[in-house]
Structure 1
Amino acid sequence: MTATVPEARADQPAERKDTAERLLRSSAELSFDPTTQVDWETPLDRTKHGMSPEWSSLYGTAYWDELTEEQRTELTRHEAASVASTGIWFEMILQQMMLRDFYAKDPTDPSFQWALTEIADECRHSIMFARGSAKLGAPAYVPKRSTVELGRLFKSTASGEAAYASILVAEEVLDVMQRDWMRDERVVPFVRTVSNIHVVEESRHMKFAREETREHLKRAGRARRQLNAFYVSAAAYFIVSSMWNEQVYENVGLDRARALREAKANEHHKAMLRSSCAGLMEFLSSCGLLTKPALYFYRRANLI
């Protein structure tokens, strides 16, 4: 399939135009329809995990060692659903930020058309995650009310590099996790398919977010850069800390207080999160967005 993209206006930055055109072509050539390309009909295999066990918040703890294999698989299924629910929450924020950014701009610009393409992708991803959570037998793991309200404020005020760098944070962390899940035969097959779809399509979204972050920062002075570095790091903390909902442990029959205590002290899980963000931190540093105040939140989220 060959995509036809309109010619960008001459006054658009050449690199930005080229990136958008490439992404539009890639989307036309390789995109998925989760309604038909994910196996929603086969009954859930309860002997399989919902995520690679190493990504469980309790993996490597004394509590994990005490769990039966049945308890471990149930826990990872609920944890995968919790991560997916957080993904839906932030994808809705992402869509609103992009719509605000491109509101009333030139529709002949390939970047404008790519933004709408990405929003369409995110709508499909959210439905896919929602169906996946239901198939895993988990409830909706909505972030804490305080986090939801902070997200409401963030989506209404974040713009420019703050919006796009925050989008990148959420996508990069999930991307690394799902690359493990989609290759892991211990993971239930439909989750592997969902992960593969998301990884392929989000790779284009991350490319665009990086380019937009750089483009917006060309006009940023030191004060603005410092402020938005802090803004992005705070968003990163609330996104990542929401991925493993506290209610998960109680819902699978574990001692909630003990599980929370051991998960909080789990050095293996912290190391997994840090490894997932190595490339992201390098990018933020190269953009001048890894400031001392920002490091406070990244450390609290175990991202650095």
Structure 2
Amino acid sequence: MTSVETSTTSMPDRGMDEVSDRLLASATRLSRNAMTEIDWSQPMDPNHYGCSPEWSTLYGTDYWDELTHEQRVRLTRHEFASIMNIGIWFEMILQELILRDQYLGAYHRPEFQFALTEIADECRHSIMFAKASEKMVGTSYRPSRAIGRLGKVFQYTARGAVSYAGILVAEEILDVFQRGCMRDDRVLPFIRTINEIHVLEESRHMKYAREQVRESVAGMSAAKRNFCAVYTSLGAMEIVSNLVQPQAYADAGLDAERALAERRTNKHFHAMVRSNCTHLMAFLDEVGLLTPMARKNYRRVHMI
């Protein structure tokens, strides 16, 4: 037999192991812990925002122009708390997808070890977001029951490329908001630190998800690829649409109905999302997951 025939690990598997080894080494060197790094007892400066004003869903609207500085600060704090809470929601979905994928995996392989490292990271991120929400606004924001049920459907039905493409899109969406705010001195210092930690550690997770997607779509039929593309885009639509919950506007003291109406037509916010999703769209196009129907769905939520 040739060496290829006697090998117990396929070429794609070895490729994933090499990537996983590098990511494990990165996690060992660079992981951070917000629970010990942040002094959660420090008071919040009343002038600091929860996110950069330009990333508020209402920035650039008539409603924003009517708000006082104090109202704008309060709005951005509730908006970003909602974004973090929706982040917790889809990070819990993500953890279940990865656990299911690795349930009877090859436990000795680096891929399995990094998968569990990612789950551990996501647990810490969710605790970090929960702690930040407690400190900043003292409440939680969850998707509606209907969207929560759809999330369960995705948990139970997503497989292979759909699973990891969904993970990638969800992580990229949150990454977009955090990169835009993590070095802005107008933002609360502890929120900037949270953004830095999450962006750093999610970069490993997104690298892992991209490699999993590339491996999953290799040799996939056109029909299956089209299904995967559309299913992923539908998930992205729900995530983007639910990032800032209506209750967040009400809790900030705004008219929630008017805020939602102005958000829907806010060209500034749409342009911010679109310009920061170009890298994600390029990757999906590269692997054949930016089909005409998927493109149409991404356009509906201004990701393209």
TM range (shorter): over 0.9
- Contact 1:179 1:199 (8 Å CA) reproduced: yes
Look up the match of 1:153: 153
- SS for the counterpart of 1:257 is helix
Deviates more, 1:34-43 or 1:85-94: 34-43
Matched residues in 2 for 1:263 and 1:9: separation?
A: 54
Whether the aligned pair in 1 keeps the contact of 2:48 and 2:73 (CA below 8 Å) is yes
Stretches of 4+ moved more than 4 A in 1? none
Q: Which runs of 5+ in 2 are unaligned?
A: 1-6
SS of match in other structure, 1:283? helix
Question: Within 5 A, what are the aligned runs for 1:116-155?
Answer: 116-155=116-155
Residue deviations 1:84-121, cap 9 Å, x none? 00000000000000011111111011101100000000
How far 1:278 sits from its partner (Å)?
Answer: 0.4
Counterpart mapping for 1:84-123 below 5 A: 84-123=84-123
- Aligned residue number for residue 18 of structure 2: 18
Q: 1:138 to 1:276 in 2, by over 3 A?
A: farther
Q: Are 1:73 and 2:63 matched, yes or no?
A: no
Structure 1 counterpart SS, 2:181: helix
Please report how far the alpha carbon of residue 289 of structure 1 lies from its aligned counterpart in structure 2 after TM superposition. Answer: 0.5
Please tell me whether residue 49 in structure 1 is matched to residue 49 in structure 2: yes
1:40 aligns to what? Answer: 40
Deviation string for 1:153-173 (max 9, x for gaps)? 101110111111111111112
Q: Deviations over 1:141-189 (max 9, x none)?
A: 1011111100001011101111111111111121122112110000000
Equivalent AA in structure 2 for residue 83 of structure 1: I
Distance verdict in 2 for CA 1:149–1:65, change over 3 Å: same
Counterpart CA distance in 2 for 1:184 and 1:138 is 23
Q: Which amino acid aligns with 1:250?
A: A
Matches within 5 A, 1:197-212: 197-212=197-212
Structure-1 separation of matches of 2:210 and 2:302 = 22
Instruction: Give the letter for the 1:120 counterpart.
Output: A
| Partner deviation per Cα, 1:48-79 (whole Å, 9 max, x = no partner) | 00001111010000110110000000000000
TM-score normalised by the chain length of structure 2? 0.95
Structure 1: segments with no counterpart, 5+ residues: 1-7
- Change over 3 Å in CA distance of 1:9–1:125 after alignment to 2: farther
Query: In structure 2, what is the Cα distance between the partners aligned to 1:243 and 1:276?
Result: 16
Shift of 1:195: 0.3
Output the CA distance in 1 between the equivalents of 2:260 and 2:179. Answer: 26
The 2-side partners of 1:231 and 1:302 are apart by 17
- Contact conserved, 1:21 with 1:110, CA < 8 A, in 2? yes
| 2:292 alignment partner in structure 1 | 292
Letter in 1 for 2:10: D
- Partner letter of residue 118 of structure 2? E
Distance in 1, matches of 2:241 and 2:8, equals 42
Shift of 1:202: 0.3
> 1:81: Cα distance to partner?
0.2
Matches of 1:300 and 1:86 in 2, distance apart? Answer: 20
TM-score norm. by structure 1 comes to 0.95
2:242 maps to what in 1?
242
Structure 1 counterpart of 2:278: 278
Structure 1 residue identity aligned to 2:261? R
Q: Is the 8 A contact 1:172 1:276 kept in 2?
A: no
Q: What is the number of residues matched between the two proteins?
A: 297
Counterpart contact for 1:178–1:199, Cα < 8 Å:
yes
Q: Distance in 1 between matches of 2:190 and 2:231?
A: 36
Say which is worse superposed, 95-104 or 248-257, in terms of deviation.
Answer: 248-257
Q: Which residue of 1 aligns with 2:4?
A: none
> 1:49 is paired with a residue of what secondary structure?
coil
Counterpart position of 1:4: none
1:29 corresponding residue in structure 2: 29
% identical aligned pairs? 53
Given residue 205 of structure 1, which amino acid in structure 2 is its aligned partner?
A: H
Counterpart CA distance in 1 for 2:120 and 2:219 is: 29
Identify the range of structure 1 (146-155 vs 129-138) with the bigger mean alpha-carbon deviation: 129-138
Question: For the residues of structure 2 that align with 1:212 and 1:11, how far apart are their CA atoms?
Answer: 14
> CA contact under 8 A between 1:81 and 1:138: conserved in structure 2?
no
Q: CA–CA distance in 2 between the matches of 1:232 and 1:176?
A: 18
Q: Which residue of 1 aligns with 2:171?
A: 171
Q: Is the 8 A contact 1:9 1:109 kept in 2?
A: no
Contact 2:176 2:273 in 1 (8 A): no
